[in-house]
Amino acid sequence: MKFSTKEDIEAPIDAVFSMLCEFDKFERAAMRRGAEVQRVDKLTEPAVGMKWDAAFDMRGKRREVEIEMVTFEDPTEMRLETVSPGLAGEMCFELMALSRSRTRIVTTLEIKPKTLSARLLVQSLKLAKTSLTKKYKERVGDYAKEMEDRFQQARKSTLS
């Protein structure tokens, strides 16, 4: 099952990529939603090999996943792979400079079942694909707007 969307952001590609690398912010956001997230690598800078262990409740069951950064090409691409007992997943962020001050971000999320019970879960998600796609696009759009606003605020404060 695959979700994807694209957003154009009024900010340079370097600024957008930099905001995508604020992993501690994503960790805190997940924890506010009830997930447990723990960074398990020893890297000091964003790079291939970054890893997290996460646990959250979904569809009435506790899900545990391992997340690993498998591609990190500053400032154009970031790819994370997730593994859990029944599912494998991949989250990809691709950035393209449309101009010096405008960036397109394409996000893709793919979930693949590895067991029969995971297939049933994915099948039930497929029944709700339209609403899940709408939520996915909404969340990505909201985050893109937030990045744009943050860039504009930072720009205003440096001009003052």
Beta-bridge partners for 73: 77
DSSP structure class, residue 85: S
Of the candidates 31, 35, 105, 43, the one whose C-alpha atom is nearest the C-alpha of residue 68 is: 43
Q: Could you give the percent of the chain with pLDDT greater than 90?
A: 84
Residue-wise pLDDT tens digits, 127-156: 999 999 999 999 999 999 999 999 999 888
Residue entry with tokens 């990045």: 147
Map out the domains of the chain with their CATH numbers: 2-159 (3.30.530.20)
Contact 20, 7 (CB under 8 A): no
Query: Residue 158, SS3?
Result: helix
Query: Residue 7, SS3?
Result: strand
pTM of the entire predicted model: 0.89
Residue-wise pLDDT tens digits, 72-111: 999 999 999 999 999 999 999 999 999 999 999 999 999 9
Average pLDDT, the chain: 94
